[in-house]
C-alpha cells in the first residue's frame, strides 16, 4: 500500500507557502503564493484578508491536484497562520468590513498606556509583555467600532477557518488565542478579568478548539491542525532533537520548546506551542514554548535590496565579504530600526542611522546593515542564554530556518560573534512542513513525529573568528549613543 500524503500551508505576512509530504517525511511538492502588500501609514499597518484567503485556497487546490496526479490519498492538511492580526467581517456574506490590523500595528498604544502599572497583572495571566502588538486592544477597537451582532471580530486564523468552512465554524485554537492577551495560560482559555480589563465582549469571541483536532472538512480533506506560524516552524525544523529554533522571516524569533511546563522569564514571551485532543479522554494535551523576538530584522535585511545597493542575496553576501576583506574593522556601523514602529522603547521616533568613516563605499554600508541584523539576533541569543534557556553546554546548538538564513555572511557573523553552533536546514520553510507534521500528529495521536524528520541537507556554521565580537561591542556602544542622541560629532551620519 502506498503511503498517505499530508499538506501543510504556512500563511505569513510576506507570502503563503505550502508543502506536501508523505508518511516517511519526504517532500513530494512545494510552492508559494504572493499575498497582498502591507499598507503602512504612521502607526497603522494593514493587510487585505480576502487576498490572504485567496492565497491559501490557491495552494490548497494545488495540494489536492498533486495528490490526485500522484495517486495517493491526501489524508489531512494543516495550517500555520501569522499571529496577532485582527479583522472584522460580515458573518453571513463573509465580506470584509475592516482590513486586518497586523501584528506590527501600534495604533492602540494609548490603550496600553492607560493601564499604567496594571500591566504586571495582565502579563502574569498571559505570559506576554503588555504591548500594543498583540490582539486584545485591536479586538477592543473593532468590537466597539462594529456593534452589529452579525459582524465578526477575531484573529486571522478564525476568519480563514470561517471562510474555508463556508461559515459553519467560528473558532480559534490555543496557540493563537494565547497570543491575544485575553487568554490565561494557567486556566487555558478566555479569562473574564482580562476581557473586562480590555473592555472586550467575551460572548463575541470565538470558541477555542485544540490546535491538533478536526477543525473542518475543506474540499473533502480534513483540516486537522491550525497553529501560529512560529509554532508551526518549531514543529517543522526537520530535526529529531529539541534544539532551539532561530526562525528568520519578517521577524526573527528564537523559540525554545519547554514541553508540558510553563516557563516564564522577564521580557520573554511564554505561550502555547500546541494543544491536542486526546481520544477517549475529552480533554487537551498541552505543550508550551518560550520565545524571544525581534520585529525589525526582516525589514532591515531587505533595505539594501530596496535601495538597490544589491540586487539579490548572493550579491548582498559578495559585497559584505568584499567590505570585510578590505577592512575587517569596518568603515561603517549601522543602527537601523523599523521606521513604522515607534514605541516607548524608541523615544522621539528614532530613525535609521549609519555612521560612516572616510573612504566608506556602498559595500561598507551593506555590510553595516547586514551586521546590524546579526547584532539584533546575537542579542536575542544572549538574552536566552543569560536566562538559562540554552542549557549549561557551551557552545549551544541552534537550528536555523526562514528566508533570512539564506545569507551565508549573516549566518557566519552570528556564529562568530555568539560563539554558538548554527545548523541551517536547506529546506528553509519550516512553517509549512510543521503544519503538515501537525496534521499527521493529529491523525496519528499515538505516533511520534520524529519519524517524519527528513533531515535533508544541513549547513553548520561554527565560530572561526571570535575577534568579530568587537564589532558587536562597538554596535552596543553606538546604540547607546543613538538613544542619547550623542553620536560622535566627527562622524559622517546618514539618517
Q: Determine the structural domain holding residue 122 and report its residue range.
A: 5-238
The DSSP result for 217-253, as a single string, is: EETTEEEEEEEEHHHHHHHTSS-SS---EEEESSSEE
Of 131-145, 184-198, 406-420, 480-494, minimum mean pLDDT range: 480-494
C-alpha cell, 325: 576583506
pLDDT score, position 42: 67
- Which is more confidently placed, 427 or 6? 6
317 burial via Cβ count (<10 Å: 0-12, 13-18, 19+): buried
Asked if the structure places residue 248 within a domain, the reply is no
pLDDT tens string 288-317: 999 999 887 888 888 899 889 999 999 999
pLDDT band at 322 (very low <50, low <70, confident <90, very high): very high
The answer to whether 209 and 284 have CB atoms below 8 angstroms apart is no
The number of domains in the chain is 1
Q: In this structure, are residues 78 and 226 in contact, taking their beta carbons and an 8 Å threshold?
A: yes
At residue 351, the pLDDT reads 61
Span 6-23, mean pLDDT? 93
Is the pLDDT at 355 greater than 60? The verdict is: yes
pLDDT confidence bin for 24, thresholds 50/70/90: confident
**Residue where the block lists cell 486526546:** 278
Rounded Cα distance, 480 and 486, in Å: 8
194 vs 337, which has greater pLDDT? Answer: 194
Q: Is the sign of the CA dihedral 346, 350, 356, 362 positive or negative?
A: positive
Q: How confident is the model at residue 236 (pLDDT cuts 50, 70, 90)?
A: confident
Q: Residue 164: which of 75, 88, 52, 62 has the closest Cα? A: 52
* Cis ω for the linkage preceding 353 (within 30 of 0): no
Hunting for cell 471562510 — which residue is that?
163
Q: Is the confidence at residue 111, as pLDDT, over 50?
A: yes
Q: Which residues contact 183 (CB under 8 A, 6 or more apart)?
A: 126, 174, 177, 189, 190, 191, 194, 208
Cell of 187: 486556566
Q: Evaluate whether residue 110 is within a structural domain.
A: yes
CB 459 within 8 A of CB 410: no
- Torsion from C-alpha of 106, 108, 114, 115, nearest 10 degrees: -80
Is 104 exposed, middle or buried, given 0-12, 13-18 or 19+ CB atoms closer than 10 A?
A: buried
Given a cut of 80, whether residue 431 has pLDDT beyond it is yes
Whether the predicted pLDDT of 287 surpasses 90: yes
What confidence tens digit (pLDDT) does each residue in 58-74 have? 999 999 999 999 999 99
Grid coordinates in use for 416?
562568530
The CATH number assigned to the domain holding 97 equals: 3.30.420.40
Mean pLDDT of the chain: 89
Residue 410 lies in a domain: no
Given this model, what pLDDT does residue 1 score?
45
356 vs 339: which has the higher pLDDT: 356
Average pLDDT over residues 230-235: 92
Q: Which range has highest mean pLDDT (207-221, 299-313, 327-341, 417-431)?
A: 207-221
Q: For residue 81, what are the contacts with CB-CB under 8 A and spacing of at least 6?
A: 11, 155, 156, 157, 160, 176, 226, 227, 228, 229
For position 216, what pLDDT does the model report? Answer: 97
Domain membership of residue 342 (yes or no) is no
- Count how many Cα atoms sit within 13 Å of the Cα of residue 13 in the half-sphere of its side chain: 24
> Picking from 6-20, 76-90, 438-452, which range would have the lowest pLDDT averaged per residue?
438-452
The tens digit of pLDDT for each residue in 463-492 reads 999 999 999 999 998 888 877 777 765 555
DSSP string, 158-183: HHHHHHHTTT---EEEHHHHTTTTSE
Mean pLDDT confidence for 347-365:
78
Q: Identify the CA nearest to 189 among candidates 201, 176, 170, 204.
A: 176
Helix axes 313-326, 408-418, angle to 10 degrees: 50
Decide if pLDDT at 405 tops 60: yes
Residue 23's pLDDT is 85
CB of 440 within 8 A of CB of 340? Answer: no
Q: What is the DSSP letter of 464?
A: S
The greatest distance separating any two alpha carbons of the chain, rounded to the nearest whole angstrom, comes to: 74
Residue 456 belongs to some domain of the structure: no
CA distances from 377 to 219, 246, 325, 390 (A): 41, 9, 23, 15
In a domain, 48, yes or no: yes
- Of the pLDDT bands very low, low, confident and very high (cuts 50, 70, 90), residue 340 is very low
What is the distance between the alpha carbons of residues 291 and 377, in angstroms, rounded to a whole number?
A: 13
Q: Tell whether the model's pLDDT for residue 234 goes beyond 50.
A: yes
Q: Sorting pLDDT into bands at 50, 70 and 90, what band is 456? A: low
Span 72-81, pLDDT tens digits: 999 999 999 9
pTM of the predicted model as reported, rounded to 2 decimal places: 0.91
**Per-residue pLDDT tens over the stretch 369-396:** 999 999 999 999 999 999 999 998 999 9
Structural domain includes residue 174: yes
DSSP string, 264-311: --TTSEEEEEEEEE-TTT-SEEEEEEEEEEETTHHHHHHHHHHTTS-S
Question: For position 240, what pLDDT does the model report?
Answer: 59
Which of 20-29, 264-273, 475-484 is modeled with the greatest confidence? Answer: 264-273
Q: Residue 448: pLDDT above 90? A: no
Residue 25 lies in a domain: yes
Specify the range with the lowest mean pLDDT, choosing from 177-186, 318-327, 330-339. 330-339
- Average pLDDT over every residue of 208-220: 96
Helix (H, G, I), strand (E, B) or coil at 486: coil
Tell me how crowded residue 318 is: count the other CB atoms within 10 A of its CB: 15
pLDDT value at residue 342:
40
Q: Is the dihedral of CA 467, 396, 423, 127 positive or negative?
A: negative
SS3 184: strand
| The pLDDT value given to residue 339 | 46
| 24 within 8 A of 454, measured Cβ to Cβ | yes
Distance between terminal CA atoms of the chain? 63
pLDDT of residue 481: 83
* CA–CA dist 137, 134 (Å, integer): 7
Amino acid at each position: 500500500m502506498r503511503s498517505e500524503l499530508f499538506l501543510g500551508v504556512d500563511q505569513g505576512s510576506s507570502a503563503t507557502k505550502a508543502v506536501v509530504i508523505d508518511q516517511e517525511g519526504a517532500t513530494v511538492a512545494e510552492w508559494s503564493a504572493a499575498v497582498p502588500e502591507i499598507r503602512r501609514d504612521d502607526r497603522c499597518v494593514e493587510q487585505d484578508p480576502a487576498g490572504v484567503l485567496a492565497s491559501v485556497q490557491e495552494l490548497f487546490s494545488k495540494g489536492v491536484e498533486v495528490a490526485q496526479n500522484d495517486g495517493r490519498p491526501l489524508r489531512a492538511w494543516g495550517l500555520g497562520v501569522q499571529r496577532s492580526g485582527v479583522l472584522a467581517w460580515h458573518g453571513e456574506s463573509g465580506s470584509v468590513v475592516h482590513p486586518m490590523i497586523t501584528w506590527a500595528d501600534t495604533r492602540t498604544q494609548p490603550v496600553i498606556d492607560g493601564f499604567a502599572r496594571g500591566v504586571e497583572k495582565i502579563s502574569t495571566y498571559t505570559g506576554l509583555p503588555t504591548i500594543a502588538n498583540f490582539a486584545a486592544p485591536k479586538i477592543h477597537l473593532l468590537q466597539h467600532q462594529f456593534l452589529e451582532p452579525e459582524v465578526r471580530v477575531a484573529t486571522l486564523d478564525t476568519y480563514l477557518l470561517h471562510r474555508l468552512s463556508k461559515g459553519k465554524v467560528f473558532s480559534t485554537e490555543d496557540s493563537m488565542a494565547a497570543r491575544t492577551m485575553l487568554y490565561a495560560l494557567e486556566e487555558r482559555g478566555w479569562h473574564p478579568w482580562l476581557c473586562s480589563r480590555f473592555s472586550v465582549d467575551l460572548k463575541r469571541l470565538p470558541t477555542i478548539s485544540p490546535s491538533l483536532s478536526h477543525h473542518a472538512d475543506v474540499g473533502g480533506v480534513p483540516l486537522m491542525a491550525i497553529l501560529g506560524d512560529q509554532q508551526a516552524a518549531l514543529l517543522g525544523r526537520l530535526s529529531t532533537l529539541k534544539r532551539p529554533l532561530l526562525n528568520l522571516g519578517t521577524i526573527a524569533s528564537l523559540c525554545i520548546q519547554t514541553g508540558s511546563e510553563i516557563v516564564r522569564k522577564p521580557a520573554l514571551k511564554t505561550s502555547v506551542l500546541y494543544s491536542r485532543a486526546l481520544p477517549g479522554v475529552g480533554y487537551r494535551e498541552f505543550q508550551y514554548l518560550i520565545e524571544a523576538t525581534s520585529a525589525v530584522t526582516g525589514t532591515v535585511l531587505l533595505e539594501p535590496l530596496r535601495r538597490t545597493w544589491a540586487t539579490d542575496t548572493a550579491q548582498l553576501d559578495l559585497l559584505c565579504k568584499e567590505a570585510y576583506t578590505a577592512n575587517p574593522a569596518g568603515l561603517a556601523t549601522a543602527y537601523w530600526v523599523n521606521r513604522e514602529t515607534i514605541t516607548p522603547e524608541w523615544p522621539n521616533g528614532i530613525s535609521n542611522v549609519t555612521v560612516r568613516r572616510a573612504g566608506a563605499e556602498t559595500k561598507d554600508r551593506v555590510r553595516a546593515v547586514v551586521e546590524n541584523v546579526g547584532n539584533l539576533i546575537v542579542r536575542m541569543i544572549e538574552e536566552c542564554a543569560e536566562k538559562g534557556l540554552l542549557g549549561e553546554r557551551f557552545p549551544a546548538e541552534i537550528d536555523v530556518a526562514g528566508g533570512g538564513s539564506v545569507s551565508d555572511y549573516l549566518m557566519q557573523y552570528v556564529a562568530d560573534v555568539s560563539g554558538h553552533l548554527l545548523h541551517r536546514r536547506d529546506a528553509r520553510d519550516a512553517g509549512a512542513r510543521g503544519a503538515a507534521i501537525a496534521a499527521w500528529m493529529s491523525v496519528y495521536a499515538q505516533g511520534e513525529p520524529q519519524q517524519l524528520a527528513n533531515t535533508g541537507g544541513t549547513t553548520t556554521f561554527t565560530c572561526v573568528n571570535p575577534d568579530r565580537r568587537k564589532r558587536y561591542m562597538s554596535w552596543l556602544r553606538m546604540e547607546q549613543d543613538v538613544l542619547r542622541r550623542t553620536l560622535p560629532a566627527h562622524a559622517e551620519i546618514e539618517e
